[in-house]
Amino acid sequence: MKTDFEHWLAAQFADTGAFTIFIVLVRIADDRVTPVMSTFAQMIGDEIEWPQMRGLLDGARVPWDGVAFFVGLSQGGGPLPDAEARDKLKQVEADVQADLLALNRGLFFDRAGRHMRVDEVC
């Protein structure tokens, strides 16, 4: 059975073809979500399954409970050049630091590859 991540990736790739993916790992404790690490990658296919992606994310060697993915496309479509992707990653990081609800503008998954979202706590 495919995970929410695998369904999303297949649909995204079918829609846009290759793209840049911005990755934000977070810790979740009680009612707090804390960004711990971020990076970007160039997605040139949709063959990666959740266990493989999770293995790559675990390679960051930081504890994480959730991950948000944001899509970036060059003006003509396709992945962003690395220099632009680095600049865009800084913007994604700043957006998430300023407002954790920004995680919902991407696709947010737990360690099992299930879609989730961040809600305000009153």
Q: How many helices and strands, by DSSP H and E, does the chain display?
A: 3, 5
Whether the pTM exceeds 0.85: the reply is yes
Residue 119 lies in a domain: no
pLDDT of residue 76: 94
Our count of domains for the chain comes to 1
Examine residue 36 and state whether it is found in any structural domain, yes or no.
yes
Identify whether 47 is part of a domain. yes
Residue 83 domain flag? yes
Angle, alpha carbons 48-43-85 (nearest 5°): 145
Q: Residue 99: give the domain boundaries.
A: 4-112
12 part of a folded domain: yes
Q: Does residue 122 sit within a domain?
A: no
The mean pLDDT of the chain is 96
Contact yes or no for 115/109 (Cβ under 8 A):
yes
Convert the pLDDT of each residue in 5-64 to its tens digit: 999 999 999 999 999 999 999 999 988 999 999 999 999 999 999 999 999 999 999 999
Q: E strand or H helix at 1, and its extent?
A: none
Q: Check: CB of residue 67 under 8 Å from CB of residue 114.
A: no
